Amino acid sequence: MPEVISRAAPPAPETDEAPARRTAAQRVIQLLDAVWRPALLLVLLVFGWWAITAAEVFPAYLVPAPGDVANELIEEREMLARHTWVTTYETVLGFLLAAAIGMLAAVLIVYSPTLEKALYPLILFAQVIPKIAIAPILVVWFGFGPMPKVILAVLIAFFPVVVSGVAGLRSTDPELLDLSATMGASRWKTFRKIRFPNALPHLLSGLKVAVTLAVVGAVVGEFVGADEGLGYVLLLASGNLNSSLLFADLILMSALGVVLFVMVEVAEKLLIPWHASRRQGVPLTTS
């Protein structure tokens, strides 16, 4: 069938590794391309901030100058690092637990209609109850340690994991499941080789939302009752009208959220390079 084969072959299938891999130089260029716009915006914002404080539009105890905040970050670095570490630890632990519990709940919901009926109302209830309202109860129960913060982070972060996990697991092509049945595959094998990888794109979107929410959970927990963490420092700074420290603390909180978000994005890039949302380059063939 020579004409079929020639039709199938595209202009230049040079290697077995059909999709071309990018070189290091191209990667750097791409990174710079992605970074320069937000970087420019950030510079403009800081400049605007500086301009406002230089013109003394507001008193310095309300809006500190960028330089003062930078000073605060440098001078108090040891204290701030310690508290940042505490919040990071609570957030990451909460996020990981939320991811694990959320995925487990999603699997149970998808595989068992009975459990779905039992779990869904419970999960919805856990979601709609105001987290700030239960924070004091958690502090009463578990004290000032990291425990209530971790629990709050879990409570606030696991809902998007469940929802995205269920959507992902349900999005499996029914024909693939039929196919799997005719291959005599066990449920577990079908889950491992078909359903779970297929759910990953959905799941990772959920995890990105969850990780930013986990920061909120941990900080809210620290607001209510803590003797360490960025939320505690924020309350302290606010009580002392120390606006430089307050701003420095805010910057660290945001940075924490951004760093964790980027880490999940990197995980996404590594886990699902095949997905449409992650594709780079043009298709090999058309038609």
Partner 1 sequence: MPETMTTQPAAAAGEQRAATTIDITDLTCTFTSKRKRTTALTDVSLSVEAGEFVSIVGPSGCGKSTLLKIVAGLVPPSSGDVRLLGNPVTGPQREIGFAFQRAALLEWRGVRANILLQAEMRNMDKRQAAARADQLIELTGLTGFESALPHELSGGMQQRVALCRALLHEPPVLLMDEPFGALDALTREHMNVELHRIWRETGTTVVLVTHSIAEAVYLGQRVVVMTPRPGRIERVYDVDLPAVRDYGATMSSSTFEELAREIRVLLGASGHHG
Residue 21 touching partner 1 (CB under 8 A): no
Q: Please give the C-alpha separations between residue 89 and each of 14, 92, 154, 223, in angstroms, as whole numbers.
A: 48, 5, 13, 16
Given the rule CB under 8 A, which of 63-71, 118-126, 233-241, 271-279 is the region that contacts partner 1?
271-279
Residue 173 touching partner 1 (CB under 8 A): yes
38, 113, 276, 277: residue in contact with partner 1 (rule CB under 8 A): 276
Residue 241 touching partner 1 (CB under 8 A): no
Cβ–Cβ under 8 Å, residues 192 and 200 = no
Taking the complex as a whole, the smallest distance from the CB of residue 179 to partner 1 amounts, in Å, to 6
Given the rule CB under 8 A, which of 102-110, 111-119, 133-141, 180-188 is the region that contacts partner 1?
180-188
Task: Kindly state the tokens that stand for 68.
Answer: 């003062």
Q: List Cβ<8 Å contacts ≥24 apart for 62-68.
A: 62/243, 63/243, 64/243, 64/244, 64/247, 68/244
16, 23, 38, 277: residue in contact with partner 1 (rule CB under 8 A): 16
Closer residue to partner 1 (CB): 12 or 55: 12
Taking the complex as a whole, the smallest distance from the CB of residue 161 to partner 1 amounts, in Å, to 21
Residue 189 touching partner 1 (CB under 8 A): yes
Q: Which residues contact residue 224 at a Cβ distance below 8 angstroms, ignoring those fewer than 6 apart?
A: 132, 135, 136, 138, 139, 148
185, 209, 236, 250: residue in contact with partner 1 (rule CB under 8 A): 185
Exposed, middle or buried: residue 266 (CB in 10 Å: 0-12, 13-18, 19+)? Answer: exposed
Closer residue to partner 1 (CB): 4 or 128: 4
Rg (Cα) of the chain, in Å, rounded? 25
CA end-to-end span of the chain: 20
Chain residues binding partner 1 by CB under 8 A are: 1, 3-5, 7-9, 13, 16-19, 173, 175-176, 178-185, 189-190, 193-194, 197-198, 272, 274-276, 279, 283-287
